[in-house]
Structure 1
Amino acid sequence: MEKVRLNKYLSTQGVCSRREADRYIDEGKVTVNGHIAMMGEKVDGTEEICFDGKPVSSAEEKKVVLAMNKPTGVVCSSKEKDNIIDYLKYPQRVYPVGRLDKDSTGLILLTNDGELMNEILKARNYHEKEYEVRVSKRITADFIRGMSQGVWLEELGVKTRPCKVKKIDAYTFRIILTQGLNRQIRRMCAYFDYRVVTLKRIRIMNIELGELKEGEWREVKGRELKELRGGVAHD
């Protein structure tokens, strides 16, 4: 079997994205045949590969994609308490595609398809994510205009991409982003002296939250899954 880089192997096995694999390898959390893995190391799957002390199976598992309505208080890092993996208790090993912060709710995808995860997460692909946000004071036309034009986030040293923003009522708006900076919407609102009261993600690409209640999940399949895979295949 042809050898591939360890980060690609871990991604293919659904352990994490390639970017996350590089971080875990750098942190010494991956071993190959008993030794701590090195960045750039190549494997063919016949080795004893462990992540965080647990063997990584090379057996082919059914690739699944789950859509879940993440409740408040649940974190998306598998290394923290009250994490989404423990909450879900899915019989196969799946990992969240990206994150929603602890105080936010709404749609998050989970999968064991590392390559699909990797493609969805690539910022250069401009995949849309839509959110419904309620803020602490009345929404003005200047606020909508400013948010949509992009906001300089001093703490991150970056200006957000232009985005679509639509007022829903006096205190609620919807926003469509094509990037996923850390606590981006909350930081953008704070720039205009608005505080986020509730934040819910309602769509990722073609996958919609729909009627899922907090804590509920469903499998993405059929035409919906085909459209999702098609959306990343053409990038």
Structure 2
Amino acid sequence: MLVSAFAPCPPVQSRRGHAAAIYRGLTGRWPEEATIDDERDFDTHVLASLIAVAASEEGPLHRALGLAPEELSALVERRFPGADGLLADASADDADSSDPDPDPDLDEEAAMVRDLLLALRTRDSEESVWLAAMVARRALAPNHLWEDLGLRNRGELTRLLMRHFAPLAVKNVRNMKWKRFFYRTMCESDGFVTCSTPVCSACGDFESCFGEETGESRLARARLRSEVGAVS
């Protein structure tokens, strides 16, 4: 069971620490130790993973998550009381960051994915709104979507989408890669045909749409790099 579901978490000292340490600061556990049988614990794990992986990157934290600063503050206050150090450090980064202005094209693209998720969400809740924005923003990153959400595997991403965006998730009957599925759904809703062949199995891009999404999580890799660095 995650610590933060019941008590204030230990304060996070710096968002520039590695992602796994940030996750541990938020929840009291390393990512691989998280138990997620309970739905609230699962949501806490997802949110901590998102914050941790985004906080380990350069640039303002709220921007990396696709949230307004006040939305990020509300999320952390609700789910991770005691993580004031993380917010304080992120605010300082926002004030002093040399990060370039947001790319309007990327913002527009993220907004389209967010609107798709919002239109097909399971329930009308503030956390679903936050998750739609965060998933959409992280979908612009280059890795598998589950990796750039900081999750441990694709199965956790599927569970997240089935829990919060079930009307959309159930349409992925052929188990297409989620990022590809989002964009294909948006194109089809606008009347565009995205595929060069009518049968997926005959398409030269089959592996790009349906291939395996395996690998080690970004949080696990970050922890390993930190431990190796400490020994060397």
With structure 1 as the length reference, what TM-score do the two structures score?
Answer: 0.25
Q: Which protein has the larger Cα radius of gyration, Structure 1 or Structure 2?
A: 1
* Between structures 1 and 2, the one with greater strand share: 1
With structure 2 as the length reference, what TM-score do the two structures score?
Answer: 0.26
* Between structures 1 and 2, the one with greater helix share: 2
